[in-house]
A and B are shown apart, each in its own frame.
Chain A
Amino acid sequence: MESLRGVKMIYELKVEEDAPMTVNNFLKELLTEGEVDAVIAMTETPSGKSAFPTMISHPEKLSTNVFAPLLPVSTGTVVSKVTKVKPPKKTLAVVLRSCELRALTELVKLNQADLENIILIGVDCSGTLSMDTYQGQDQDITEAVLKNESEDDLRTACLNCKDPVPKNADLVIGTFGADTDKNLFLDAKTEKGAEIVSALGMDESEGEEVREKAVQDIRDEKEENRKAFIQERSEIEGPDKLLEFFDTCVNCHNCMKVCPVCYCNECIFESSIFDLEGDKYMKKVEGKGAYKTPTDSLLFQLTRFNHMMLSCVGCGLCEQACPSDIPLMDVITGLADNAQELFEYEPGDDPEEELPLVVYREEEFEDVEER
């Protein structure tokens, strides 16, 4: 992806009916003008109870709401699914929130997604709600979240978001700094993005400075939230507390299945490797006296953390998918930040930067050898 760092091209999308409809019309134009052959964007389900990333190729079937405050699945995972075997020959535009883009960038590094012929459209994220909260709300919830009126309802992960502003997209649909009743920003970040905007002939925006300030403000706010959140969570003191934290885990592996960066194609815990002979279990219970079954839920959680924490994008899907309501983000937020700090690695930030565990430097962490 050619980057246009330093070159700023910011355009304006005039809001006609409401913000979601405006973006819907923009996507429709992309399809009818032949700029793209299909799009993937959040669309409310017929029941109105949910919204899912939906793939659409017929302009008349477009009824997207890219601002629907729900994250049922990471669109990063969806793009991986579509492009992993072989990317499409035709052009596909995908609308993603910032955490989904971060996840996608990580998946590209893991060779589990290919961005050839994919146009990435990022969208500013004002946060998402839990499935239950979303289902219990009326239609106006999109607007309420967009205008920051439902902050108390946001998911833990969203309150402490790493960065709600999309990175590494070709185009960014901006709401921060915009009066969403009147206009939205359209930020061209790459040549690909700029070509599309110029083909459609859009108006340049005057509000660049306003947007920049609003973006900085929200980033500062989230960073503060995140720091306070991590500090607030008391550490898990020792193995007993650790067992206590996970003692409602039913070992369903949902957290692993929804995690966009849980990268093993076949999870070792789904294999029969931990199935042992009866005598082994008997020997084990002799040593411990008593243990909860299934036996490997704690081992599963620790191994999962060890695998994904360097790439954790903080989407909180694991917590959302947990049937036992284990507040996983209480643990993962700090854990991931610590690990990423250790390797000075920021997942989803720079597509060129390699994953910390596949590179090495000859001179580093020398104390290990000395000890």
Chain B
Amino acid sequence: MKDDFEPTVVAFLCNWCSYAGADLAGTSRLKYPENVRSIRVMCSGRVDPVFILEALNEGIDGVLVAGCHPGDCHYQSGNYKTNRKMILLKKLLTDFNVDSDRVRFEYISASEGQKFADVVTDFVGTLKELGPSPLK
């Protein structure tokens, strides 16, 4: 039955890099799984951990947060701070034995349409392995 499982992914994409990257994936006709629901945020730093916890609590199987590469943040340091926040959140999830692989943080630039497609494909693969969210 595991093969039939189609995970739902919420992706928070930063306006300046990752959202444009996702856009490029689309305009380049790159294929990636349709499981992902993109939400544009002005900066990955805007993503409060409560958004992610709420998504998981509401039955979303995985949350992807993507921001600019180190040094490229439109607001100087938003992506670095997100990195720290994500590490803290993953630690919390691990401590409660919730698989922290359900949360993923990636640096995706505006020119990396291919990386966006790859990340989503890989992430959906991981989530299929993990099965439906136990918080569902």
Residues of A within 8 A of B (CB): 235-242, 268, 274, 284, 287-288, 296, 298-299, 302-303, 305-307, 309-310, 334-335, 338-339, 342-343, 356-358, 360-362, 365, 368-369
CB distance A342 to B91 under 8 Å? yes
Docked CA distance A268–B14 (Å): 23
Number of chain B interface residues as a range: 20 to 34
Which A-chain residue is minimally distant from B57 (CB atoms)? A299
Docked CA distance A100–B67 (Å): 38
**From residue A11, how far is it (CB to closest CB) to chain B in Å?**
43
Docked CA distance A342–B135 (Å): 26
Residue in B58, B70, B106, B107 whose beta carbon sits within 8 Å of that of A284 in the complex: B58
- Within 77-136 of B, Cβ neighbours of A (below 8 Å) are at 77, 80-81, 83-89, 91-92, 95-98, 105-107, 134-136
Docked CA distance A307–B89 (Å): 10
| Chain A neighbourhood of B26, CB < 8 A | none
**From residue A98, how far is it (CB to closest CB) to chain B in Å?**
25
Docked CA distance A368–B84 (Å): 10
**Is B3 interfacial (CB-CB < 8 Å)?**
no
**Is B36 interfacial (CB-CB < 8 Å)?**
no
**Is B50 interfacial (CB-CB < 8 Å)?**
yes
23 A-B pairs in the complex with CB atoms less than 8 angstroms apart: A236-B95, A236-B96, A238-B98, A239-B96, A241-B97, A284-B58, A287-B59, A302-B96, A303-B53, A305-B92, A307-B49, A309-B88, A310-B88, A334-B95, A335-B95, A342-B91, A343-B84, A356-B84, A357-B81, A357-B88, A368-B87, A369-B69, A369-B107
Docked CA distance A358–B81 (Å): 7
**From residue A357, how far is it (CB to closest CB) to chain B in Å?**
6
Which of the listed residues B57, B77, B88, B136 has the most CB atoms from chain A within 10 Å of its own CB? B88
Besides A235-B95, A302-B92, 18 more A-B contacts (Cβ < 8 Å) are A235-B97, A239-B97, A274-B54, A288-B59, A303-B53, A305-B92, A306-B88, A307-B49, A310-B88, A339-B88, A339-B92, A342-B91, A343-B88, A360-B77, A360-B81, A360-B84, A362-B71, A368-B105
| Chain B neighbourhood of A242, CB < 8 A | 96-98
**From residue A123, how far is it (CB to closest CB) to chain B in Å?**
33
Which of the listed residues B89, B105, B135 has the most CB atoms from chain A within 10 Å of its own CB? B135
Contacts A238-B134, A268-B50, A303-B50; A339 near B97 (Cβ below 8 A): no
Residue in B49, B84, B105 whose beta carbon sits within 8 Å of that of A306 in the complex: B49
Consensus secondary structure, chain A interface = helix
Residue in B50, B88, B135 whose beta carbon sits within 8 Å of that of A239 in the complex: B135
| Chain A neighbourhood of B95, CB < 8 A | 235-236, 334-335, 338
CB distance B87 to A288 under 8 Å? no
**From residue B43, how far is it (CB to closest CB) to chain A in Å?**
13
Give the total number of A-B pairs whose CB atoms are below 8 A apart. 91
Which A-chain residue is minimally distant from B85 (CB atoms)? A357
Which A-chain residue is minimally distant from B135 (CB atoms)? A239
CB distance A338 to B91 under 8 Å? yes
Which B-chain residue is minimally distant from A362 (CB atoms)? B70
CB distance B92 to A309 under 8 Å? yes
Give 9 closest A-B pairs by Cβ, nearest first: A360-B80, A239-B134, A238-B97, A303-B50, A306-B49, A299-B57, A302-B53, A242-B96, A237-B97
Docked CA distance A61–B61 (Å): 61
Which B-chain residue is minimally distant from A363 (CB atoms)? B70
CB distance A236 to B81 under 8 Å? no
Docked CA distance A236–B98 (Å): 10
CB distance A357 to B136 under 8 Å? no
| Chain A neighbourhood of B70, CB < 8 A | 362, 369
Contacts A238-B98, A238-B134; A360 near B91 (Cβ below 8 A): no
Residue in A268, A339, A362, A368 whose beta carbon sits within 8 Å of that of B91 in the complex: A339
Contacts A237-B97, A357-B84; A287 near B92 (Cβ below 8 A): no
Docked CA distance A242–B53 (Å): 14
| Chain A neighbourhood of B77, CB < 8 A | 360
**From residue B51, how far is it (CB to closest CB) to chain A in Å?**
10
Docked CA distance A134–B128 (Å): 54
| Chain A neighbourhood of B85, CB < 8 A | 357
CB distance B49 to A303 under 8 Å? yes
Docked CA distance A338–B88 (Å): 10
| Chain B neighbourhood of A334, CB < 8 A | 95
Which of the listed residues A236, A306, A339, A365 has the most CB atoms from chain B within 10 Å of its own CB? A306
**From residue B106, how far is it (CB to closest CB) to chain A in Å?**
8
**From residue B71, how far is it (CB to closest CB) to chain A in Å?**
8
| Chain A neighbourhood of B50, CB < 8 A | 268, 299, 303, 306
